[in-house]
Amino acid sequence: MKHTKSSELRDKSVDELEKLAAEKAENLFNLRIRRAAGTLESNADISTTRRDLARVKTILAQKRT
C-alpha cells in the first residue's frame, strides 16, 4: 500500500482533505475487520493507513487555523 505524501496533501482543498480522511478511516475500519477475521494479508497495511490518516488530519487542522 502506497502512503500519501505530505506535499501532495498540502495542495488539496479542505473539502478534499475531509473526504480523504473519511475514506482513510473507513479503509482502516475494514482492515481491522479483516485482521479479526483472519483474511488480512499484511499487517503493515494497518499501520500505513493509520499514519496516512494522521497525516491527513494534521494537515487539515493546519489549514483550518
Q: What is the model's pLDDT at position 65? A: 86
- Would you write out the chain's pLDDT as a tens digit for each of its 65 residues? 677 889 999 999 999 999 999 999 999 999 999 999 999 999 999 999 999 999 999 999 999 98
Q: What is the model's pLDDT at position 4? A: 80
Q: What is the model's pLDDT at position 1? A: 63
Q: Where are the domains of the chain?
A: 6-64
- The rounded distance, in Å, linking the Cα atoms of 16 and 22 is 10
Burial 43-64 (b: 16+ CB within 10 A, else e): eebbebbeebbebbbebbeeee
Opening angle at CA 19, ends 33 and 24, nearest 5: 25
Domain 6-64, CATH among 3.40.190.10, 1.10.287.310, 3.10.129.10, 1.10.10.60: 1.10.287.310
